[in-house]
Amino acid sequence: MANGEVECSKAKEAQDNLTLRQEVKTLTMRLQDAEKSSAADDVQVILKQLTKEKKLRFQWEQKFKVLEEQHQALMTQVDAASRQYEIDRQAAKGDIEALSMQHADQLNQLQSEHDMQGLVCAAVAEKDQLAQLYAAETKARRHLHNKVMEMGGNIRVFCRVRPTSDVERTSAESAEVVTFRRDDPQVLELTLAEGPKHTFEFDYVFQVRIVTNTGSQIIKQARQLVEQLGRPLELDTDGIWAMLPGSSLEYPCVMLNAAVQENFTNHQYQEVTAGQKYQMRSECSIFFELDGPYKCMVVPASTEEGKLLKKRYAVFNFSNKLTELKGFELKRRGELELIKAFQSQVFPCFLEGKTLAECYAAVGDCANRWLDILDTKGQAIEEEEVLALLTENKSMSGRLEDYGNQKSTSITTAKRLGEFLGPKMLQDKGLTCKLIVLTRPYGEKVTERAVPTAIFSAEPA
């Protein structure tokens, strides 16, 4: 029994071994088949990659061929450019040598011209010096001649040129025909259109700007001339006659002066002299002028010779309109805008009210409003309006360079405008200067404290 079991067991083991061998063989065959299949797939992949590489190689060969052709073409162009560069270099070298020679010739020519210009400038300076000496000699001779003629009672002739009006300054058809000489105030030159220049000589020529700068000189010379003729001169603010009129003096004026002298002269004036003595003298103490519309207003005059009272009056018509205004800043150029604005508002107030007290009350209300502006320094109004009220408008008839070393607020303003806006602003005539006069720097003259208002409206840098 035991042997049979052993045999069975051996037979079973043999069977199991056979089965295992079959399975191993089957698996081995399968493994070989799998390996063959994987190798075939790899071969296909390699073949595909090889085909792709061949295509890429062909494309690169084509590109290389194109690039090689382009390289050959570029090398040909480079060779041509090199040859052209060498040709141009040789030509430029020749041009440079020619220009160097031309430059040397021009330098020599400029040096010769500079030397010649120096000689010309020296000759011009000598000519100007001789002209100044001649002008000074002529002036001295003329002065001595006038002195001699004055001793014999000669009448001198003065000339004053009328200033140009606003219409003439803005008109394109207008042109200045009068020329003054800076170094000779007795000569005036007149040029009409394209004609020749005419020279006129006077005892004295007052230039246009003399009206605002040295008007007192006109009065002094006119008075000196008239007194040399043995006649008294009555000064007036409206102007001075520089020559005797062709017609006789008005009869009413002459008779009025004679009547005042005869009827209103006080012969009992007594003045204390040395030693407590009295000296009797006569004096007519009534001083007045007839002025205003139709010469029907009696206006007081000054009691001192050489001093004038400022005549101020306003005339209204029956339509309550202001027809004449004299002595007030409202009608004057160059006055403070604050004064003009006040006067333009206060004059209509004189027509308000039915009684004199009501009229004065209306005028007082207007004056108080402007007084408040002054007391508060314009705190209730805008800064731009305050600046406008403190502005003065001045006009310059000539160019800035024509005024030389003269000093005035308008000249200072023009110079500062030139520094602020550039020198081109000062080339033309008729420059209008809007300015204010500052309080600082203290102690400086008014002409040095003038500032153009354009500075205050400029944008900060």
393, 437 Cβ separation under 8 angstroms: no
Residues 6+ apart with CB under 8 A from 221: 158, 204
Q: Are 418 and 184 in contact (CB under 8 A)?
A: no
Cα dihedral angle (328, 332, 338, 344), rounded to 10 degrees? 60
The pLDDT value given to residue 392: 79
Q: Is residue 310 part of a domain?
A: no
Comparing CA positions, the residue from 168, 159, 165, 174 lying closest to residue 206 is 159
424 & 406 share domain: yes
**What local confidence, expressed as pLDDT, does residue 32 receive?**
76
Give me the number of domains the chain comprises: 3
Percentage helix, strand, coil, to 5, in the chain?
Answer: 55, 15, 30
Alpha-carbon distance of 185 to 222, in angstroms, equals 16
Final residue of a domain: which of 388, 410, 441? 388
Residue found by looking up tokens 């590489």 in the block: 53
Q: Report d(CA 70, CA 78) in Å as an integer.
A: 12
**How far is it, in rounded angstroms, from Cα 82 to Cα 73?**
14
Query: Could you list the residue range(s) of the whole structural domain that residue 395 is in?
Result: 391-457
pLDDT of residue 409: 78
Antiparallel, parallel or unpaired: β 265-273 and 277-284: antiparallel
Residues of the chain with confidence (pLDDT) below 70? 1-7, 9-10, 37-40, 43, 145-156, 193, 207-256, 260, 284-301, 303, 305-309, 329-334, 423-427, 430, 458-461
Last residue within a domain, chosen from 151, 169, 188: 151
Q: Is residue 425 part of a domain?
A: yes
- Tokens 């035991």 locate to 2
Give yes or no for a contact between 287 and 216, defined as CB atoms under 8 angstroms apart. no
DSSP 272-284: EETTTEEEEEEEE
- Hey, what are 97's tokens? 């040598």
Which pLDDT belongs to residue 6? 57
What pLDDT is attached to residue 242? Answer: 39
Structural domain contains residue 336? yes
Q: Quick one: tokens of 236?
A: 């007036």
What's the pTM? 0.35
Q: What are phi and psi of 229, to 5 degrees?
A: -85, 0
CATH number of 423's domain = 3.40.1820.20
Distance (Å, rounded) from C-alpha 421 to C-alpha 428?
Answer: 14
Q: Are residues 415 and 449 in the same domain?
A: yes
Q: How far is CA 131 from CA 125, 142, 146, 168, 205, in A?
A: 10, 16, 22, 34, 20
147 and 63, same structural domain?
yes
Q: Are residues 374 and 428 in the same domain?
A: no
pLDDT score of 241 = 40
Whether residue 404 sits in one domain with residue 380: no
The verdict on residue 281 lying in a domain is no
| Long-range CB contacts (within 8 A, 24+) of 454-461 | 454/417, 454/420, 454/421, 455/416, 455/420, 456/387, 458/420
Q: Does 364 reside within a domain?
A: yes
Asked whether residue 123 falls in the same domain as residue 63, the answer is: yes
Whether residue 400 sits in one domain with residue 384: no
Q: Are residues 349 and 405 in the same domain?
A: no
**Is position 198 within any domain?**
no
| Strand, helix or coil for residue 341 | helix
Looking at the domain assignment, is residue 116 inside a domain?
Answer: yes
Q: Judge if 141 and 69 occupy the same domain.
A: yes
Q: Are residues 424 and 444 in the same domain?
A: yes
Run of H or E including 114: helix 2-151
Q: Examine the fold and report which residue of 342, 367, 388 is the final residue of a domain before the chain moves on.
A: 388
Packing angle, helices 337-349 and 356-375, rounded to 10: 160
What is the 3-class SS of 419-435, one letter each residue?
Answer: HHHCHHHHCCCCEEEEE
Task: Evaluate whether residue 78 is within a structural domain.
Answer: yes
What per-residue confidence (pLDDT) applies to 198? Answer: 84
Per the listing, tokens 């007149």 go with 190
